[in-house]
Structure 1
Amino acid sequence: MAFFRPRVSREAEVRFHADLEISKSFPDLIAKARQAEAVVHDLNEADAPEMELRAAGLLFDKALTDALRAAEAGQRSTFGVKSYDDRIVRRKAKATPEGARWTAEVDKLRTLREDNRLNGIPRLPRPVPAAR
């Protein structure tokens, strides 16, 4: 009696190759995020108007989101093609040194993005409605 392991699905292969392509842009995207962060920092140091700080904060958020998507794609592609179909394989791949490195990078970028969203983007004051 022969036991054959099922191949990975065609969808998993397609997603794997797409993630490989997306993850190639990670170094450029993280460099753009660092530049945007430097602009935000410089504007904070110069006591720039809130509108400029808001625009810079939103650009930084977009750059972080793009870098995060590329990092998540790199993480998934590092886990391997089988991890798209099997959660056990995905969990085991997180324990490898390369998988742990990508997981830490994704967590760091998520934390940085959330911190920017909560504290780095100034909120515009809303007009108070008149009392009736």
Structure 2
Amino acid sequence: MSREAEVRFHADQEISKSFPELIEKARQAESVVHDLREADAPEFELRAAGLLFDKALTDALRAAEAGQRSTFGVKAYDDRIARRKAKATPDGARWTAEVDKLRTLREENRLTGIPTLPRLVPSAR
């Protein structure tokens, strides 16, 4: 176990403490997006809300990844076999599932949830 692994482990523990508040922000941002869709809001409002939702999901995903790494333990930072074994534990599997769910949700939002605004094409004179 290296000193760098210990430092990264402690940093990940600190980052993962913010996960509950970050996931709540993501849920609120998702609610805003759904409310705007139901209200048939203009595209620019939907785009702004979709981008905020993407940022909230990215922040929550980073915290979940930090929680996942810290749950795996210090040894897993340097040893891929220890990392694989840690994924098989109940806590490791729970964090891995959470990370996968957030990645999928973020990609779905990026593909379908953020409308693109039409670009004006300059006239050719």
Normalised-by-shorter TM-score class: over 0.9
For residues 77 and 55 of structure 1, the distance between their equivalents in structure 2, rounded to whole angstroms, comes to 33
Structure 1 equivalent of residue 112 of structure 2: 119
Deviation at 1:124, TM superposition (A): 1.0
| Distance in 2 between residues matched to 1:33 and 1:128, nearest whole Å | 35
Deviations 1:23-44 (A, max 9, x none): 0000000000000000000000
Q: Any unmatched runs of 5+ in structure 2?
A: none
| Distance in 2 between residues matched to 1:130 and 1:16, nearest whole Å | 56
2:86 matches 1:93: yes
Q: 1:126 Cα shift?
A: 1.8
1:40 is matched with 33
Select the residue among 58, 63, 85 that pairs with 1:65. 58
Across the two proteins, how many residue pairs are aligned to each other? 125
Cα distance in 2 for partners of 1:39, 1:126 equals: 25
Q: 2:9 matched to which residue of 1? A: 16
| Partner amino acid, structure 2, of 1:49 | P
Cα deviation, residue 111, structure 1: 0.2
* One-letter amino acid matched to 1:40: V
Whichever structure has more helix as a proportion of its residues is 2
TM-score (norm 1): 0.91
Structure-2 residue corresponding to 1:106:
99
- Higher-Rg structure is 1
Matched to 1:47, the amino acid is: D
- Root mean square deviation of aligned Cα: 1.1
Q: Distance in 2 between matches of 1:86 and 1:130?
A: 59
Q: Percent identity?
A: 88
Unaligned runs of 5+ in 1: 1-7
Q: What's the counterpart of residue 71 of structure 2?
A: 78
Deviation of residue 128 (structure 1)?
3.7
CA distance in 1, matches of 2:78, 2:39: 50
